[in-house]
Chain A
Amino acid sequence: MQSDDIAWGVIGKGQCAYKAPSKTQMFCRNEFNLTGLCNRASCPLANSQYATVREENGVCYLYLKVIERSHFPQRLWEKVKLPKNMTAAVKLIDENLLHWSKFVRQKCKARLIRIHQYLIKMRRMQLNQHQKIIPLARKIERRETRREAKALIAARLDNAIEKELLGRLKEGVYGDIYNFNQKAFENVLDQEVEMEEEEEIQPPQRQFIEDFDESDDDGDDDEDIEDAAYTFDADSDDESDEDDASENEEDEASDNQEEGSDIDMEDIGSKKKVSFAPLPKAAPTKVSKKATKKRRGAKIEIEYENEATAPRKKIIS
C-alpha cells in the first residue's frame, strides 16, 4: 500500500540517492523532478500523483504519474507530446491536469515557459556564428614547437637568402643597377680626373712661351735638386706636387701651380732678390719653361738659366 508521508519520512529526512546538497539548499537530481529542489511537494518519489514537463531535442513532453500505475514501473510515466505553440501547449496541460493540485499545474506551466525561452535563445545563438573553441593538446603543441625549432636550424635562412640574392644578381635580374667591375669603375674615375686636369691646366697656359734648347732642360733637372734647398714655399710646393702623380692631390697641385705661377708672373723679380743673388736678366725667361715642362708629364718645374745658377753654386760652397 502506497503511503507518501511514510515515504517522505524515510527519504526526505534520511537517505535519498537523488539528494544533492549545496551550501544554502538541498537539490534533487531526479530527472522527473518538477522544480529541482528537494521538497515534500516536489519529490517524485514521495508523491503518487505527479507531473513534469521535459524537453528532448527541441520537443516538449508532459509526463504524468498516477497512483493506479504505481505497481507497473515500466508504464509508470505517461508521455504526452506538447504542441510547439506555447498557448496550445498550456491549454493541453490544463486539460490533462484538470483536477490536480494547483502546485503541480502552476509549476508545469512555468517550466514549459522557461523551456521555450531557452530554446529560442539557442536558435538565435546558432545564427550568430559564435567562435568554436578547439582545445589544444599540450603534448602535441610541445612536439610541434620542437619540430619547428629543428626545422629552423635546418633551414639556415640567412645562407639561403644570401645565396638566392647572389644567384639573382649573377643571372642579371638586376641589370646594371649594381656596378661591380672595379677596373671599369676606376677607369671611369680616371677619365673624370683627366677631364679635371685639362680644365685646370688652362689658366697657367696664359704664360708666354719662348723657344729653348733641349740641353737646358736636361741641365735644369740637376739644378732643380740644388734649388730645392733654397726654394721658397711656393717653389717647393710646386716641386712636391710635380712628384706626386696621384689623382687626389692633383687638385691641390693645380691650385698651387696656379698660385705659384701667378706669383711668379707678378713677383719674379722680388722673389729672386730675396732668396738668391739678384738676377734681373733671368726674370723673363724663367717663366717660359713651366708650360713646356707641364706638357711633358704633368709636372711643374721652375727653371733658371745657367747664368743665374752660377753665382748660387758659389754661395753653396
Chain B
Amino acid sequence: MFPRKNIPVKKIVKQAIEAGYTDIMIVHEDRNKTKPDGIILCHLPEGPTAYFKINSLKYSKEIKGVGESTSHYPEVILNNFNTRLGLLISRMLVCLFPQDPNFVGRRVVTFHNQRDYIFFRHHRYEFKKEGEKTALHELGPRFTLRLKWLQNGTFNPTEGEYEWVLKRHEMETSRRRFFL
C-alpha cells in the first residue's frame, strides 16, 4: 500500500507492470479527504480497468459487535453475477484474493450483486447443528460499489476503448433492467 503523491495514474500502471504486480487498486478520496469514494481497479498486464463508486462505507469500528479479523486467507463468495459483464467484474474482484483450496480459518469475503449494486461483506462463520445452520460474525468494513465504467485495456480514460459506460440518461430506461 503506497500513497500516490500525485503521480499520474498511467505512470503508476507502467511501473507496476514492470514490477510484476497482478492488479492495481487506487482508492480515490473526496475533496475534503474524509471518506474514500471511488476505486480504480486495474488488472495488469493489459487487463480490464474498472472504476467503481463507493457508497455507504462503514468502517469496522462503526459496526456493532464487530470481531477482529485474522490473517488467514479468506474464502470468496460471489453472488448473483449473471450477465457477461457481471462475470467479468466478478473475476476481476476474485483476482485480488489469493486462491488457495486449503481453507484455513473460517473467514469469508462476500461480493453480492443486487440490481447493479455490489455489496461487500466480511465475516467469520461457524457451522452449527451438524451442518444445518451457519452463524456469521461480522468482521471488517462493509460498503457498496457501483460500476461506473469498464475499459478494455489499462487505465486510459481519454484514449482507451470503453467496454461499458454508465450513461444514466440512456440506460435507466426501465426500472427492472440491470446490467451487472
Chain A contact residues, CB within 8 Å of chain B: 129, 133, 140, 144-145, 147-148, 150-152, 154-155, 157-158, 160-162, 164-166, 169-170, 173-174, 177-178, 180-182
Which of A147, A148, A177 has most B Cβ within 10 Å?
A: A148
Task: Return the chain A residue nearest B127 by Cβ.
Answer: A178
Using a Cβ cutoff of 8 Å, how many contacts connect chains A and B? 77
Asked whether A148 and B144 contact (CB < 8 A) given A161-B121, A164-B77, the answer is yes
**CB within 8 Å for A140 and B127 given contacts A148-B56, A154-B115:** no
Contact between A155 and B131, CB atoms less than 8 A apart: no
Among B55, B103, B121, the residue within 8 A (CB) of A148 is B55
The reply on B149 being an interface residue by CB < 8 A is no
Name B residues whose Cβ lies closer than 8 Å to a Cβ of A.
8, 31, 55-56, 77, 79-80, 103, 108, 110, 112, 114-117, 119, 121, 123, 125, 127, 130-134, 136, 144, 146, 168
The 8 Å CB contact of A180, one of B55, B123, B127, B136, is B127
A151–B145 Cα gap in the complex (Å)?
12
A164-B136 in contact given A154-B115, A177-B103 (Cβ < 8 Å): no
**A144 touches which of B55, B123, B133 (Cβ 8 Å):** B55
Contact (A145, B117) CB under 8 Å given A155-B112, A177-B103, A178-B127: no
Given the complex, which residues of A lie within 8 Å of B112, measured CB to CB?
Answer: 155, 157, 160-161
State A160–B123 Cα separation when bound (angstroms).
13
Bound-state CA distance A11–B77 (Å) is 77
How far, in Å, is A219 (CB) from chain B's closest CB? 49
Picked from A160, A166, A169, A177, the residue with its CB within 8 Å of the CB of B79 is A160
Flag if B114 contacts A152 (CB, 8 Å). yes
Grouping DSSP codes into helix (H, G, I), strand (E, B) and loop, the B interface class, with mixed when no group exceeds half, is strand
CB-based closest 4 A-B pairs: A155-B114, A151-B115, A180-B130, A162-B134
In the complex the two chains form, what is the Cα distance from A140 to B110 in whole Å?
Answer: 27
* B108 cross-chain contacts in A, Cβ below 8 A: 161, 165
Interchain CA distance A179-B163 in the complex, whole Å: 47
By a CB distance below 8 angstroms, the chain B residues around A164 are: 77, 79, 110
Bound complex: CA A169 to CA B77 (Å):
13
- Other than the given A145-B55, A180-B130, 17 more pairs (CB < 8 A) read A133-B31, A140-B168, A144-B146, A147-B115, A152-B144, A154-B114, A157-B121, A161-B108, A165-B77, A165-B108, A165-B125, A165-B134, A169-B127, A173-B103, A174-B103, A178-B127, A180-B127
